[in-house]
Structure 1
Amino acid sequence: MSGPASEGTKLVLNGRHNADKGWISEIRRNGNSQILPRVVLESIPVDLLKKKKQRERAINLIIEECKEMGYDGIVLESWSRWASYGVLHDPDMRDKALQFIVQLGQAMHAIRLEQNISQSLQLVYVIGPPRSDKFEEYDFGPDDLRVLGDDVDGFSLMTYDFSGPQNPGPNAPLKWIHSTLQLLLDSSNGYNPKLAKKIFVGINFYGNDFVVSGGLGGGPIIGREYLSLLEQHKPQMHWEKNSAEHYFLYIDNQNIKHVVFYPSLMSIATRLDEALSWTAGISIWEIGQGLEYFFDIL
């Protein structure tokens, strides 16, 4: 769902109509699952972060939604939004941004769940990977991780979307995932197992079909589209050693050459091993976009 957004000076929380209560009940019946909807902060960060009352309103909106809907917490996305507004290069605003997340985490941890009194509301925070071996000022880095470590229950690390139509290639090179974890966990200054366990390494269950001749183009594909391409073109599969991903080439009916990178059991296994080597967890985007047999390895 969308999170608190500004309507003039008023904050509103949208997206409740997307909640499928029947599905949520079924999930709870079939196992010890927790429901944490993704919440995106769309309010203008300067207004939210500089005004104490606005921060408190946003936190109260989130907590009340969790109570009313019986959620176990939320997965919060805000860092990329704040970066796009250009506020994270300002040390004072960056500090206010971090303190807002700390304040939210502390407020959520003060609320005990009706369905499980021994547990409090959980906060998972979405973070993006750096695009190079050096952090830009808007990147979420090891210092930010340490500031939030006590008050955030998990960090959903978006280690995917490495390539795009402008630079066709693998979805999430294994070496890039490794270097991202190394940078984020700042292993040169001593490995922190407590923080490592809170990282959820992002694994994509979608792939990409990129144009590699006759211009630029293409984009994400999901399982049924991938299977359709295999059936139609019967391509030869290749293993790209540096990225640890499978890919194939095909030529469409307009004589345009494509390259398709899509997850395989082998590529998923290498990423699970990487996460395990750091004692980290995983997050999947999105589980319904993959193939049925992906579940065999999880």
Structure 2
Amino acid sequence: MLLLTVFLVIASFAFTDAHVFQKTSIVNPFDQLTVTSILENHHVISVRNAHKKLFPGPTLAYVTPWNNCGYNIAKIFKGKFDYLSPVWFYIEPKTPTGYVIEGEHDVDSSWIQEVRGGDDSMNISAKVVPRFQCRSWSTPDWYQLASNTQNAKQLANQILKVVIKYDLDGIVLECAYPSIFPFFVQRLSETLRTHHKTLVAVLPPIRNEEQKKVLNAQSFAFMAKYIDYFSLMTYDYSTSRIDGGPAAPVDWIIDNIEYLTTDENRHQLLMGMPMYAVSYAPYHYPEPLGMETVLRKLQEQRQHNAENQMPVIWDPVSEEHWFKYMINNHRSSMHIWMPSLTFIRQRLAIAKRYGIGVALWEIGQGLDYFYDLF
């Protein structure tokens, strides 16, 4: 049964020896991208590079239970990802008996062993650092953690118990702005480092001046003494705009990198990179779309296009692709902004230039051939 499962997973991919840009017939990656080129090549991956890490910086990949094909992506591209962060755990507000950590029912120990198991001949290894997210916390709950050292110690110890129980390599902590809880951050760091575990903290990106009061170069430098890596959520840039726009414009990404980090701590930053699209339609809230959904929409577009080569438009300012999708019996349209090979390539170039890593949200939403580039 196990052999059949592995076969079915591998059979869904098409393999080639060609590099991803060669196999998609894009001599210059800025050449016009077409619906046809995406539909015909998105599932083709390089057998030569499937387990070979091409990007030199640290790469963290999130995996979610609601897009569980990401679990298989982690295995198919074993070796690409230095850190895998399954989204399993939620920290509920404090009760009279302590904090409550939910999510143990999602833990898959066999998957952990499979993706983490090293292969000396291929230099393959990965650390499993599940996400622990504070959920349903009120302002008084945050204040209790920030002001009470006993609460901070208690929560750090409870997290460690889960880490030890499942033999995890560390955690990704998502709790608003970690700099608000300096004692908790220090305590958690010391607790994990005593057991040689990794601590990654999620940071919201800088969008306005108000945020700079709690997140700036000084607070980042302080946290960098206790936190190994920071997963910066540099995506969803335009979701507050009525007319929509790019998810991760390059100028905004660079502004965040340069504002928060220095030469001494920049290597600890993981630049967030979305593997999903976002659609914007009149009178509707922005909607995140997995790339499988985007493929279906592109297929529909191709069926209604006689030339069969309708372009996906490249925005040279944000360095992101988008296309128009007709709705309401072609009486109106939505704009869909999406990652592409070129989108990823340009952001990896930024990461290399600044000497930082990347954090992918999340690999269950992307296209197979995206991961060749990492």
TM-score strictly above 0.5: yes
- CA distance in structure 1 between the partners assigned to 2:154 and 2:184 by the alignment: 12
Per the alignment, residue 108 of structure 1 pairs with: 192
User: Which one of 176, 182, 191 corresponds to residue 79 of structure 1?
Assistant: 176
- CA distance in structure 1 between the partners assigned to 2:341 and 2:334 by the alignment: 22
Deviates more, 1:235-244 or 1:151-160: 235-244
Equivalences for residues 210-225 of structure 1 within 5 A: 210-211=280-281, 213=282, 215-225=283-293
User: Which one of 131, 134, 142 corresponds to residue 38 of structure 1?
Assistant: 131
Q: CA RMSD in A?
A: 1.8
- Structure 1: which 5+ runs fail to align? 83-87, 89-93, 112-119, 186-190
| TM value normalised by structure 1 | 0.85
User: Which one of 339, 347, 350 corresponds to residue 271 of structure 1?
Assistant: 347
Equivalences for residues 147-226 of structure 1 within 5 A: 147-164=222-239, 166-167=241-242, 168-185=244-261, 191-192=262-263, 194-211=264-281, 213=282, 215-226=283-294
- CA distance in structure 1 between the partners assigned to 2:212 and 2:252 by the alignment: 19
SS of corresponding position for 1:284: strand
Equivalences for residues 1-298 of structure 1 within 5 A: 1-3=89-91, 5-8=93-96, 10-29=98-117, 31-42=124-135, 44-79=141-176, 94=180, 97-111=181-195, 120-132=196-208, 134=209, 136=211, 139-164=214-239, 166-167=241-242, 168-185=244-261, 191-192=262-263, 194-211=264-281, 213=282, 215-234=283-302, 235-254=310-329, 255-298=331-374
**C-alpha contact (below 8 Å) 2:320/2:339 kept by paired residues:** yes
**C-alpha contact (below 8 Å) 1:209/1:220 kept by paired residues:** yes
- Give how far 1:135 is off: 5.1
**Identical positions, percent:** 27
SS of corresponding position for 1:275: helix
SS of corresponding position for 1:208: strand
- Give how far 1:3 is off: 2.3
- CA distance in structure 2 between the partners assigned to 1:9 and 1:67 by the alignment: 21
**Larger RCO (CA within 8 A; separation ≥ 6):** 2
- CA distance in structure 1 between the partners assigned to 2:212 and 2:258 by the alignment: 18
SS of corresponding position for 1:288: coil
SS of corresponding position for 1:105: helix
- CA distance in structure 2 between the partners assigned to 1:58 and 1:181 by the alignment: 30
Q: Structure 1 residues 127, 290: closer, same or farther in 2, change over 3 A?
A: same
Deviations 1:134-169 (A, max 9, x none): 453554221111111121110000000101164311
Q: Structure 1 residues 268, 26: closer, same or farther in 2, change over 3 A?
A: same
- Give how far 1:125 is off: 0.6
**C-alpha contact (below 8 Å) 1:38/1:74 kept by paired residues:** yes
Deviations 1:55-95 (A, max 9, x none): 11101001111011100110001125x8xxxxx8xxxxx3x
| TM value normalised by structure 2 | 0.68
- Give how far 1:253 is off: 3.5
**C-alpha contact (below 8 Å) 1:36/1:71 kept by paired residues:** yes
SS of corresponding position for 2:227: coil
**C-alpha contact (below 8 Å) 1:40/1:77 kept by paired residues:** yes
Deviations 1:218-273 (A, max 9, x none): 41001110100110013431110110001111211342211011101101111001
When the two structures are aligned, how many residues end up with a matched partner?
A: 268
- CA distance in structure 1 between the partners assigned to 2:251 and 2:357 by the alignment: 18
The amino acid of 2:279's aligned partner reads D
- Give how far 1:293 is off: 0.4
The amino acid of 1:34's aligned partner reads K
SS of corresponding position for 1:183: helix
SS of corresponding position for 2:90: coil
- Give how far 1:33 is off: 1.0
The amino acid of 2:142's aligned partner reads P
**C-alpha contact (below 8 Å) 2:277/2:338 kept by paired residues:** yes
SS of corresponding position for 2:364: helix
**C-alpha contact (below 8 Å) 2:206/2:212 kept by paired residues:** no
Q: Structure 1 residues 278, 137: closer, same or farther in 2, change over 3 A?
A: closer
Per the alignment, residue 188 of structure 1 pairs with: none
**C-alpha contact (below 8 Å) 1:165/1:217 kept by paired residues:** no
SS of corresponding position for 1:161: coil
